[in-house]
Amino acid sequence: MNTRDKIVYIADRMIRDVGYNAFSYSDISEHMQIRPAAIHYHFHTKNDLGLEVIRQELERVRQFRREEGKNLSGEDQLKRLFYTFFRQSFEDQHCLMGALTPDFATFDEPMQKRIRELCGVILQWVSLCLEGERLADRMRFNGTADDRALLVISTLLSSLLLAPVIGREIFVRMADQLLEDLGAHWRVDDLGDVPEDFDDPHSYT
Amino acid sequence: MNTRDKIVYIADRMIRDVGYNAFSYSDISEHMQIRPAAIHYHFHTKNDLGLEVIRQELERVRQFRREEGKNLSGEDQLKRLFYTFFRQSFEDQHCLMGALTPDFATFDEPMQKRIRELCGVILQWVSLCLEGERLADRMRFNGTADDRALLVISTLLSSLLLAPVIGREIFVRMADQLLEDLGAHWRVDDLGDVPEDFDDPHSYT
DNA sequence: TTCCTTACTTACCAGTAAGTAAGTATTTTT
DNA sequence: AAAAATACTTACTTACTGGTAAGTAAGGAA
């Protein structure tokens, strides 16, 4: 990974760990062979870095849907989503939306716009998966798929936020309850174990 | 309201507006006839102030349950909870848990402990209300009341987090869907309008 | 009248934040 | 071989953070 991408990767993790307003360039520099000022060479302002972190996550989600997701059922795509969140619950990390929304009011317009974009893409993705599953009779729920997607995302998001407070096990409790309510025939346990090493920069979301 | 309580009130609002790590003593001082250093007279450190903000909210919830809540049905208590969150969605404010949990890793032990306490009290409260409503046949749900309380809180919490991003209307959408799923015969619309002025320091939570 | 407390103010500290400017070693292009 | 771009470092500025120290005006108690 080149320096630029490494900076973005570390910033991404920092945002998920402690929130956007609680990390600095010097925090990032401590995790790599670089001085804080060198980060300014790659990202003029912290805002630019923040924008890039969200842009890359947006791109990852879009690429997954374009390429891998194309050949996967809604169920398999949802499993991927749940697995990502499951893994993050083990790392005491939050999803980008959960980490960024509380500080939303402190961001400028371009940043807010991009968060809105990320939010829209994720909701649309989950909504389409849910609608497909309902049509295939593998899930059932009242109301629109859009509304149900909102509930799914909000449950995953808050289970990560609450995990460090209440305990890691609440992710499985909440996710399984959600799946039961949706009439799904699979549970978090079916997703497989989380590997020991967590150095791959994948995440949706 | 005396100076000390006013500081706590403003700090509370700031935490809900922009998060704990994004406000300073000078931000608070700008909202009252006082210099930043005077706040140190009342609260030696920012941590002490944070602790007091949570303590007061904890006390408010406990007092409500001890006094008013005693004579109210689970339904009326839940209505009170939903109404509080509904009102906050209009102010683009977050609940304390939603505002504090993303920064959780940056807090020291006493602070984390108190947030955990607040979280526990709220969940227990909602859980008891839900259990009562199920027994009274006014609500129905699978699984334990504790798990269902977790879902209710997480939905309310994230709807506030997402409101500034997606739009205020999502609070009503998500809350109503939640109530429908629970088999409740009431909706957010039944809670009455939110008044224009929002200067009363009540909030649970 | 003196003393002490309360509730501040002003002035300051050390530390850290984001950001800049100038210089340098290394690689790439011409 | 010279020039230029790349990827930094060192050293800095400005602004602001939480926190401290010393002083003071107002009020009540001895």
The mean per-residue pLDDT over the stretch B156-160 comes to: 97
Residues on chain B touching A17 (C-beta within 8 angstroms): 105
- Answer yes or no: is B180 within a domain: yes
A26 C-beta less than 7 Å away from strand C: yes
Concatenated DSSP letters of chain B: --HHHHHHHHHHHHHHHH-GGG--HHHHHTTTTS-HHHHHHH-SSHHHHHHHHHHHHHHHHHHHHHTTGGGS-HHHHHHHHHHHHHHHHHTT---HHHHHGGGGGGS-HHHHHHHHHHHHHHHHHHHHHHHHHHHTTS---SS-HHHHHHHHHHHHHHHHHHHHHH-THHHHHHHHHHHHHTT-S--GGGG-PPPS---------
User: Å from A108 (CA) to C25 (C1')?
Assistant: 38
Nucleotide nearest to B3 (CA to C1'): C7
A19: which chain B residues are within 8 Å (Cβ-Cβ)? 19, 21, 102-103, 106
C-alpha B15/C-alpha A116 separation (Å) is: 22
Which of B134-163 are b and which e, b meaning 16 or more Cβ less than 10 Å from the residue's Cβ?
beeebbebeeebebbbbbbbbbbbbbbbbb
Touching check for A8 and chain B: CB below 8 Å? no
Angle at B172 between CA A158 and CA B63, to 5 degrees: 70
| pLDDT surpassing 60 at residue A199 | no
Tens of pLDDT, residue by residue over B123-144, are 999 999 999 999 999 999 999 9
pLDDT in tens, B108-117: 999 999 999 9
Mutate to test the interface with B, among A177, A187, A188 (most CBs of B within 10 A): A177
Which of the four pLDDT bands, split at 50, 70 and 90, describes residue B1? confident
- Residue A170 lies inside a defined structural domain of this protein: yes
pLDDT confidence band for A69 (50 / 70 / 90):
confident
Q: Quick one: tokens of B198?
A: 């929002």
Is B83 among the domain residues? yes
A118 domain residue, yes or no:
yes
In Å, what is the separation between the CA of A50 and the C1' of C30? 38
**How far apart, in whole angstroms, are the C-alpha atoms of residue B164 and residue B93?**
9
CA distances from A126 to A46, A59, A82, A149, A159 (A): 30, 16, 11, 5, 17
Q: How high is the pLDDT of residue B196?
A: 61
CATH code of the domain containing B164: 1.10.357.10
B201 confidence band (pLDDT: 50, 70, 90): low
CA of A12 to C1' of D10 (A): 28
pLDDT digits (tens, 9 = 90+) for A96-155: 999 999 999 999 999 999 999 999 999 999 999 999 999 999 999 999 999 999 999 999
User: What is the nearest CA distance from B162 to chain A, expressed in angstroms?
Assistant: 7
**How many C-alpha atoms does B99 have within 13 Å on its Cβ side?**
26
Q: How many domains does chain A have?
A: 1
pLDDT of residue A84: 94
> How much is the average pLDDT of A190-203?
68
Tell me the shortest Cα–Cα distance from A168 to chain B, in angstroms.
13
* Residue range A12-39, pLDDT digits in tens: 999 999 999 999 999 999 998 888 989 9
Question: Is B196 inside any structural domain?
Answer: no
Answer whether residue B204 is part of any domain: no
Asked whether B174 and A147 are in contact (CB, 8 A), the reply is yes
**Measured between beta carbons, which residues in chain B are less than 8 angstroms from residue A148?**
177
A18 within a domain of the structure (yes/no): no
Residue A39: inside a domain, yes or no? no
**What is the per-residue pLDDT for B192?**
81
Say yes or no: A44 contacts chain B, CB-CB below 8 A. Answer: no
Position B205 scores a pLDDT of: 80
Q: Which nucleotides of D are covered by protein (CB under 7 A)?
A: 7-12, 16-22
Give A81's pLDDT tier (boundaries 50, 70, 90). very high
Q: Is the dihedral of CA A138, A176, A103, B119 positive or negative?
A: positive
Residue type, B159: S
Chain B contact for A108 (CB, 8 A cutoff) = no
Residue A92 forms contact with B (CB below 8 Å)? yes
pLDDT higher than 80, residue B90: yes
Q: What is the mean pLDDT of chain A?
A: 92
Q: Which of B22, B102, B159 sits opposite A161 (nearest CB)?
A: B102
Tell me the residue range of the domain where A68 lies: 55-191
